[in-house]
Chain A
Amino acid sequence: MAKQYEFKAPVLPYLLVLPQMVIVFIFFFWPAAQAILQSFYLQDPFGGRMIFVGFQNYSKLLVDPDYWQSFRVSTAFALCITLSAMTISLFLAIQANKKIRFASFYKTMLVWPYAVSTLVAGVIWLFLFNPNVGVIAYVLKHTFHVDWQYLLNFNQAFFLLTMAASWKQLAYNFVFFLAGLQSVPATLVEAAEIDGAGAARRFWKIIFPLLSPTTFYLLVMNLVYGFFETFPIVHAITQGAPGKSTGILVYKVWRDGVINLDLGSSAAQSVILMLMVIVLTVFQFRFIERRVTY
């Protein structure tokens, strides 16, 4: 590539990046470093002494059954959300991508919920399934004779959380799948149709492979969402109940830090979460570079 023209100024570029760099250092790097440091110390919550304890905060976590429960439930939660939200949105996007009447109306109707916040999604489903006042809870109890008490029943709680979180994610996935489908060349699909390939064959042999970069991207984003961005839903609906069984990792960091003031453990958990995000990000960028298959 030919050498690009560049402005020559010794000081100006530093002034331009200064605001960004100041915020990056004060609010990102400094706290991250603090978390790492803190994770090796025990501190009494009232701002008193710090005692160096090495890896004790980590080793305590690794033998803590609560932590493993939190890890398991987070993983299951993220996987269930990813699977259900992606399947349903892909199915809807395929239908909306067909040359049908009212297509743009359908698209708008399925895109706008992107703007609904995670907390609001949680509150909506909490209201519908509240054992005392919820409309759906009422039907479950009186028509289907289900003993609906999600605060006492792990399976019910997990189901409700997954549904609320997946519901919220539908619009996001729909936007990307639709964009991905629109970039599949129509001529290719038509050619296969002329050659006698049925709808299922056309989908699995042509559309799905061409869609794989989008699918892969969404897979990572949905897992990230399931692991890290569903705090508001758990905070609104179960607060970890029954017991601590639905307290996902981020919820546990928050509770151990803010409510229980166990700063060392909370910091160690933060560091573990950071490592998870780093792995996911690196994974994503490596594959996006290669554009997966085709």
Chain B
Amino acid sequence: MTAEQRINKAAHRTKVIKGLFPHIVLWIGIAIIIFPIYFIFSASSHTSAEIQAAPMPLGIGPHLIENYRQALFEGTKNMGTPVLVMMKNSLIMALGISTGKIIVSLLAAFAIVFFNFPLRNFCFWSIFITLMLPVEVRIMPTYKVISDLGMLNTYAGLILPMIVSATAVFLFRQFFMSIPREIAEASQIDGATPMQFFRHILAPMTRTPIAAMFVIQFIYGWNQYLWPLLITTKPEFYTLLIGINRMMSGADVQIEWQIAMATTLLAMLPPVIVVVLMQKQFIAGMTETEK
């Protein structure tokens, strides 16, 4: 082999390694995400005794169907609410929050952009200020409002305080401002009322931002934890995440890990499906709102 050939070969080798590098890094990244979830899945296929005997078997055991059946229809011994009931509650909460937010924000943005009324700036800034008042910083007083209104353990209590969104109002406002006003003017000349313009022209044009908002807010709603933890005390109103917490409370030996882990996986499924199916709208929505 001549010196030149040797240099070429070495250059070729570094090029191959360079080409592989991003793949290796990305696979490590994926492994960091997937491995913990794999162990959860594995745990949900074993018996309580196998898990308690530590270390649990790392493969997929034969109790998968049995465990998921128990989780879906019966729940654990220390928490008798079945996953199906909690899934229904999570779904009502997530859909209520996401659709509620979209409707309320669309109407507010429509008013703020297309009308000139004396309190317009006041409304806009009031909505802006809500950005600075996340539920985490007003836990007790908000709880008190809900309890005074008799909304503890109700779906309204779970949903209503969550459907204000400065983010959604800003996104729709931004979008509405990019629409040529001639369209609004033309609709008026043709005799349409503002609400007809909203329903038949503006709302259909806003399809894409609405879809993006829906994905983000559905996930936000589904993943609420602190709020339902505060206001749901009756098991029939537990959401899935609260249920998981209740399953895990108590001494280690009493925890039915296999059921809790099956429930954890089931709780991940709906929002993950939404993201994967609507990935394009989701990324556009995330990066356009910048929040």
The interface of chain A, by Cβ under 8 A from chain B, is 4-10, 12-14, 16-17, 19-21, 23-24, 26-32, 34-35, 38, 88, 91-92, 95-96, 98, 100, 102, 106, 108-120, 123-128, 130, 132-135, 138, 167, 170-171, 175-176, 179, 217, 221, 228-229, 231-232, 235-236, 250, 253-254, 257-258, 263, 266-267, 270, 273-274, 277-278, 281, 288
CA distance A8 to B283 in the complex (A): 37
Pairwise interchain contact A253-B30, C-beta atoms closer than 8 A: no
Q: Please, which residue of chain A has its CB at the minimum distance from the CB of B270?
A: A115
Q: Please, which residue of chain B has its CB at the minimum distance from the CB of A18?
A: B107
Q: Which one of A24, A88, A117, A274 lies within 8 Å of B137 (CB-CB)? A: A274
Q: Please, which residue of chain A has its CB at the minimum distance from the CB of B187?
A: A7
Write the B110-143 contact mask toward A (1 if CB under 8 angstroms, else 0): 1110111101100100110111111011111111
Q: Which one of B114, B127, B144 lies within 8 Å of A24 (CB-CB)? A: B127
User: Is B36's CB within 8 Å of the partner chain A?
Assistant: yes
Pairwise interchain contact B286-A175, C-beta atoms closer than 8 A: yes
CA distance A17 to B54 in the complex (A): 58
Given contacts A23-B104, A125-B36, contact A133 B252 (CB under 8 A): yes
Q: Which one of A106, A118, A138, A175 lies within 8 Å of B26 (CB-CB)? A: A106
Pairwise interchain contact B267-A270, C-beta atoms closer than 8 A: no
Q: Which one of B104, B116, B130, B287 lies within 8 Å of A28 (CB-CB)? A: B130
Interface range, B side: 35 or more
Pairwise interchain contact A24-B130, C-beta atoms closer than 8 A: yes
- A19 CB contacts on chain B under 8 angstroms: 103-104, 107-108
The interface of chain B, by Cβ under 8 A from chain A, is 19, 21-23, 25-26, 29-30, 32-34, 36-37, 39-40, 43, 51-52, 54-56, 58, 103-105, 107-108, 110-112, 114-117, 119-120, 123, 126-127, 129-134, 136-145, 160-161, 163-164, 169, 181-182, 184-185, 188, 194-195, 197, 219, 222-223, 225-226, 229-230, 241, 244-245, 248, 252-253, 257, 260-261, 264, 267-268, 271-272, 274-276, 279, 282-283, 286-287, 290-291
Pairwise interchain contact B136-A21, C-beta atoms closer than 8 A: no
CA distance A13 to B115 in the complex (A): 6
Cβ distance A143 to chain B, nearest Cβ, rounded Å: 11
Q: What are 11 A-B contacts with C-beta separation under 8 Å?
A: A5-B185, A19-B103, A21-B108, A96-B22, A113-B33, A124-B37, A170-B29, A179-B287, A253-B140, A267-B140, A270-B137
Pairwise interchain contact B244-A250, C-beta atoms closer than 8 A: no
Pairwise interchain contact B283-A258, C-beta atoms closer than 8 A: no
Q: Please, which residue of chain A has its CB at the minimum distance from the CB of B24?
A: A95
- A267 CB contacts on chain B under 8 angstroms: 140-141
Cβ distance A269 to chain B, nearest Cβ, rounded Å: 9
- A34 CB contacts on chain B under 8 angstroms: 141, 144-145
Cβ distance B245 to chain A, nearest Cβ, rounded Å: 7
CA distance A113 to B268 in the complex (A): 9
- B225 CB contacts on chain A under 8 angstroms: 117-119, 231-232, 235
CA distance A231 to B39 in the complex (A): 24
Q: Please, which residue of chain B has its CB at the minimum distance from the CB of A115?
A: B271
Pairwise interchain contact B107-A120, C-beta atoms closer than 8 A: no
Pairwise interchain contact B244-A119, C-beta atoms closer than 8 A: yes
